[in-house]
Amino acid sequence: MSTITHRGASLETPHAGDELLSMQEVADTVRVPVATLRYWRHLGIGPRSFRVGRSARYWHTEVLHWLEEQSNNPQATR
Protein backbone atom coordinates (compact mmCIF):
# COMPACT_ATOMS: atom_id res chain seq x y z
CA MET A 1 0.00 0.00 0.00
CA SER A 2 1.53 3.24 -1.05
CA THR A 3 0.36 6.69 -0.21
CA ILE A 4 1.21 9.59 -2.48
CA THR A 5 1.52 12.96 -0.83
CA HIS A 6 0.52 15.86 -3.04
CA ARG A 7 3.36 18.32 -2.47
CA GLY A 8 4.54 21.31 -4.37
CA ALA A 9 1.05 22.48 -5.33
CA SER A 10 0.05 26.06 -4.77
CA LEU A 11 -1.95 26.83 -1.65
CA GLU A 12 -4.91 27.70 -3.90
CA THR A 13 -5.19 24.05 -4.92
CA PRO A 14 -8.07 22.54 -2.91
CA HIS A 15 -6.11 19.43 -1.96
CA ALA A 16 -2.63 20.93 -1.57
CA GLY A 17 -0.77 18.86 1.00
CA ASP A 18 -3.47 16.18 0.98
CA GLU A 19 -2.82 12.48 0.45
CA LEU A 20 -4.16 10.26 -2.30
CA LEU A 21 -5.49 6.97 -1.00
CA SER A 22 -6.08 3.70 -2.83
CA MET A 23 -9.28 1.69 -2.47
CA GLN A 24 -7.51 -0.70 -0.11
CA GLU A 25 -6.35 2.17 2.11
CA VAL A 26 -9.86 3.64 2.24
CA ALA A 27 -11.34 0.20 2.94
CA ASP A 28 -8.91 -0.20 5.83
CA THR A 29 -9.79 3.27 7.16
CA VAL A 30 -13.56 2.78 6.87
CA ARG A 31 -13.25 -0.89 7.90
CA VAL A 32 -15.27 -2.33 5.04
CA PRO A 33 -14.27 -4.75 2.28
CA VAL A 34 -12.95 -3.28 -0.99
CA ALA A 35 -15.98 -4.85 -2.69
CA THR A 36 -18.25 -2.66 -0.54
CA LEU A 37 -16.36 0.46 -1.68
CA ARG A 38 -16.79 -0.63 -5.28
CA TYR A 39 -20.52 -1.11 -4.71
CA TRP A 40 -20.80 2.31 -3.04
CA ARG A 41 -18.97 3.85 -6.02
CA HIS A 42 -21.45 2.15 -8.35
CA LEU A 43 -24.38 3.56 -6.35
CA GLY A 44 -22.71 6.95 -5.89
CA ILE A 45 -23.12 6.90 -2.09
CA GLY A 46 -19.60 6.42 -0.75
CA PRO A 47 -16.73 8.84 -0.27
CA ARG A 48 -15.96 10.97 -3.33
CA SER A 49 -13.46 9.31 -5.61
CA PHE A 50 -11.96 9.70 -9.04
CA ARG A 51 -9.92 7.66 -11.47
CA VAL A 52 -6.22 7.92 -12.12
CA GLY A 53 -5.66 5.69 -15.09
CA ARG A 54 -7.47 2.45 -14.25
CA SER A 55 -7.39 2.95 -10.48
CA ALA A 56 -9.86 4.70 -8.20
CA ARG A 57 -8.31 7.21 -5.83
CA TYR A 58 -9.62 9.16 -2.88
CA TRP A 59 -8.43 12.35 -1.20
CA HIS A 60 -7.80 11.64 2.48
CA THR A 61 -9.68 14.77 3.60
CA GLU A 62 -12.70 13.78 1.45
CA VAL A 63 -12.83 10.38 3.15
CA LEU A 64 -12.65 11.99 6.60
CA HIS A 65 -15.35 14.50 5.63
CA TRP A 66 -17.60 11.69 4.38
CA LEU A 67 -17.08 9.76 7.63
CA GLU A 68 -18.00 12.86 9.62
CA GLU A 69 -21.20 13.23 7.59
CA GLN A 70 -22.05 9.60 8.29
CA SER A 71 -21.57 10.03 12.03
CA ASN A 72 -23.83 13.11 12.05
CA ASN A 73 -26.51 11.55 9.85
CA PRO A 74 -26.46 7.76 9.41
CA GLN A 75 -28.90 8.08 6.48
CA ALA A 76 -26.71 10.59 4.64
CA THR A 77 -25.48 9.89 1.15
CA ARG A 78 -23.02 11.78 -0.95
* Residue 6, domain member (yes or no): no
The answer to the question of residue 7 being in a domain is no
Q: Is residue 10 part of a domain?
A: no
Say whether pLDDT at 9 is over 80: no
Give the number of other CB atoms < 10 A from CB of residue 66: 22
Structure-model confidence comparison of residues 20 and 7, the more confident one: 20
Asked if residue 64 belongs to a domain, the reply is: yes
Secondary element (H or E) of residue 59: strand 55-59
Instruction: Give the residue among 55, 44, 46 at the shortest CA–CA distance from 27.
Output: 46
> What is the reported pTM?
0.73
Does residue 77 fall inside a structural domain?
A: no
9 φ/ψ angles, rounded to the nearest 5 degrees: -85, 155
| pLDDT tens per residue, range 27-70 | 999 999 999 999 999 999 999 999 999 999 999 999 999 999 99
Q: CATH no. for residue 59? A: 1.10.1660.10
Q: Is residue 22 in some structural domain?
A: yes
Look at residue 6 and tell me whether its pLDDT is greater than 70: no
Instruction: Tell me which residue range forms the domain holding 41.
Output: 16-72
